[in-house]
Amino acid sequence: MNIVTIRASSLAELFDCPARWEAKHLLGMRMPSGPAAHLGTSIHAGTAAFDQAELDGAPITADDAASAMVSTLRDKNAEVDWEDVNPADAERIGLALHTRYCAEIAPRQRYIGVEVPCERLEIPELGIALTGTTDRVRTTAAGAGISDLKSGGRAVGADGIAVTAGHGPQLGVYELLAEHAVGIPITAPAQIIGLNTGKTAAAQRVGMGEIESPRAMLLGTEEQPGLLQHASRLIHSGAFYGNGKSVLCSAKYCPRHATCHYKS
Ligand code: SF4
C-alpha cells in the first residue's frame, strides 16, 4: 500500500467533502487565503513570537511580539483575497486579540513547546502518514497536553468558553504528533485557545475550552474502527465523492467548484 500524507488540519475536511480534500491535498489545486485564514496565520505568528521568547528565557513585550503579527498580515508575498475586508480593520482586530492573549492567556500557561513540527508519523498498516505543527505543548498537574489556537468569528461563545465542537479529530492528530515529536506521554486534556475575531471590542473575546482524550475517536477500539481507519479506507478506495451540503461548498472555499458535479 502506498503511503498517503494527511495534514492534521485537513482531516476534518476529508470527512466533510472528500472531493474537496482530494482537490486540495492530492491534486494540488490551490486558491488564495481568505481574510479570516490570513488573520489567523498572522495572530499565530505574533503569539508564537511572544511564547517562544518566554520559553527561551528572554521574554519580550506584547508590543514587541506584535510586530511578527503585523509583518505577517502585511506580507506582500502572501496570496490573500481580501474581498470586502479592509486589511487595516483586520490588523486592528488582530492587535486587540494578540494583546489580550499575551495579557490574559499566556501568563496562565506553562509551555514546553511552541509551534512544534512533526515531519511525519507513519502508520504503515493504514497506508497513511500524519504531519502537522502542534501550536503548543504545555505542562499541567495532569501531565503534558497540547493546546491549539483557533481564531474566527465564532471561536469563543458568549459565555467566554472556547468552542470545541468539531475540533476533536484535528486535536487528536496533534496529540499523536506531539507525543511522537517531543517524546513524552500526552495525558492532559487537549485545550483550545479561542480568539474571537468580532468587529467590536466586546466581541473580541479570548477564552479556553477542553476536549478529553480526542485520540480515542481517531484510534477506535477492537469493536469499532476509529477515524484513521475510515480515513485510510476512503483514501485508498479512491472514492472521493462530493458533499454539496458542506457549508464550505462555494467558489470562495473550494478550488474544484467551477467543474464539480456534486455542488449544490
Ligand atoms: S464544489 Fe462542493 S461538493 Fe464539489 S468538491 Fe467543492 S465542496 Fe465538495
pLDDT at 1 over 80: no
Residue 221: predicted pLDDT = 86
Average pLDDT over every residue of 11-26: 96
Rounded Cα distance between 100 and 205, Å, is 8
Q: Confidence band (pLDDT; 50, 70, 90) for 211? A: very high
Residue ID of nearest Cα to ligand 1 atom 1: 257
C-beta of residue 167 within 8 angstroms of C-beta of residue 192? yes
Q: Is the CB of 257 under 6 A from ligand 1?
A: yes
pLDDT at 18 over 90: yes
Residue 220: predicted pLDDT = 85
Q: Confidence band (pLDDT; 50, 70, 90) for 199? A: confident
Q: Which of 16, 24, 263, 264 should be mutated for ligand 1, with most atoms under 8 A from CB?
A: 263
Distance of CA 205 to the CA centre of its chain: 18
User: Counting atoms of ligand 1 from 1, which one is nearest the CA of 260?
Assistant: 4
Of 128, 114, 145, the C-alpha closest to 8 is 128
pLDDT digits 0-9 by tens, 146-167? 999 999 999 999 999 999 998 9
Of 175, 165, 190, 170, the C-alpha closest to 231 is 170
Rounded to the nearest integer, the mean pLDDT of the chain is 95
Q: How many CA atoms lie within 13 A of 74 on its CB side?
A: 11
pLDDT digits 0-9 by tens, 106-127? 999 999 999 999 879 999 999 9
Q: Which of 248, 254, 261, 264 should be mutated for ligand 1, with most atoms under 8 A from CB?
A: 254
Q: Confidence band (pLDDT; 50, 70, 90) for 198? A: confident
pLDDT digits 0-9 by tens, 76-92? 999 999 988 999 999 99
Helix, strand, or coil here: 70?
helix
pLDDT at 195 over 90: yes
Q: Which of 17, 29, 30, 240 should be mutated for ligand 1, with most atoms under 8 A from CB?
A: 17
Please indicate whether residue 70 or residue 198 has the higher confidence score (pLDDT). Answer: 70
**Cα 65 to middle of ligand 1, angstroms:** 38
pLDDT at 100 over 80: yes
Q: Confidence band (pLDDT; 50, 70, 90) for 222? A: confident
Rounded Cα distance between 133 and 115, Å, is 6
User: Counting atoms of ligand 1 from 1, which one is nearest the CA of 255?
Assistant: 6
Residue 3: predicted pLDDT = 96
